[in-house]
Amino acid sequence: MVEALVGAANRARERAGFLSVEAVAALADGGVLILDPFSTLVSPDVALAAGVTLWPGTIVQATEGGRVAVGRGTQLFPGTRVVADGGRISIGAATEIGEEGGFTIKTGHSTGVIEIGSHARLLGGGSLALDNSVGDGAQVLGPIRMQNCRLQAGGSHRDPDPDRRGGVLKGSGVARGLTVPTGMVIQAFGLFSEAPLRPQSFFHPKPQG
């Protein structure tokens, strides 16, 4: 019975262009932590570095010649979907994606590029579409639809000086064509283009020395 169910699942996976259950589990041989190979979908030739964690319910997919690379120590939490439908998606090391509601990252054309740096955080059910650059330490916090934006690199959210951290979008709504410099944040609940750009210390006062 179990073998029949796994066989049926594998045939469906093959038709959809994903690795078999056994092949997903075998990613552990390369140092990838797979918590549930039955609910995790991964395309062949996706590049996952040692130390990547794929939580249950994650999808990492490359179609139409697309490429996906995920760096060492990065965590993809439940409900995260990374899809290079053509184009290229690169994710750096020790980045956290999809906690607090999943996250969708998708290129939709052959020249699309989404670059996410190291020590970044993308949380709370948001999405990246079209071309985007999320620099080292930058953050997207909340159900935000981000299109053609650039968050500049800086320290991670653990940096004691908030004005040295990577750029941040927080709240909910739509962000299009925006650049957020290092140490700055836009908080909005609607259109981010209508919200002010503020230093991150506005929300997180610097520690007194």
Query: What is the chain's mean pLDDT, rounded?
Result: 95
**Strand duo 67-70 + 47-48: pairing:** parallel
Q: Say yes or no to pLDDT of 1 above 80.
A: no
Round to whole Å and give the CA distance between 159 and 145.
26
Tell me what pLDDT residue 209 has.
Answer: 58
pLDDT in tens, 135-172: 999 999 999 999 999 999 999 999 999 999 999 999 99
Q: How sure is the predictor about 133, in pLDDT bands with cuts at 50, 70 and 90?
A: very high
pLDDT tens profile 92-122: 999 999 999 999 999 988 889 999 999 999 9
Q: Which of 122, 111, 119, 182 is nearest to 146 (CA)?
A: 122
What is the C-alpha separation between 145 and 177, in angstroms, rounded?
11
**Cα–chain-centroid distance for residue 70?**
9
Question: pLDDT, tens digit, for every residue of 16-63?
Answer: 999 999 999 999 999 999 999 999 999 998 999 999 999 999 999 999
* CA dihedral (102, 85, 15, 23) positive or negative: negative
- Report domain 2-202's class: mainly beta
Tell me: pLDDT of 207 over 80.
no
Give the β-pairing of 139-141 and 80-85. Answer: unpaired
Model confidence over 166-203: pLDDT tens digits?
A: 999 999 999 999 999 999 999 999 999 999 999 999 99
Q: How is the chain classified by DSSP, letter by letter?
A: -HHHHHHHHHHHHHHHT---HHHHHHGGGGT-EES-TTT-EE-TT-EE-TT-EE-TT-EEEEETT-EEEE-TT-EE-TTEEEEEESSEEEE-TT-EE-TTT-EEEEE-STT-EEEE-TT-EEESS-EEESSEEE-TT-EEESSEEEES-EE---B-TT-SSGGGBPPEEEEEEEEES-EE-TTEEEEEEEEGGGSPEEEGGGTSPPPP-
What is the residue extent of each domain of the chain? 2-202
- At 87 the pLDDT is 93
Q: Is the pLDDT of residue 208 over 80?
A: no
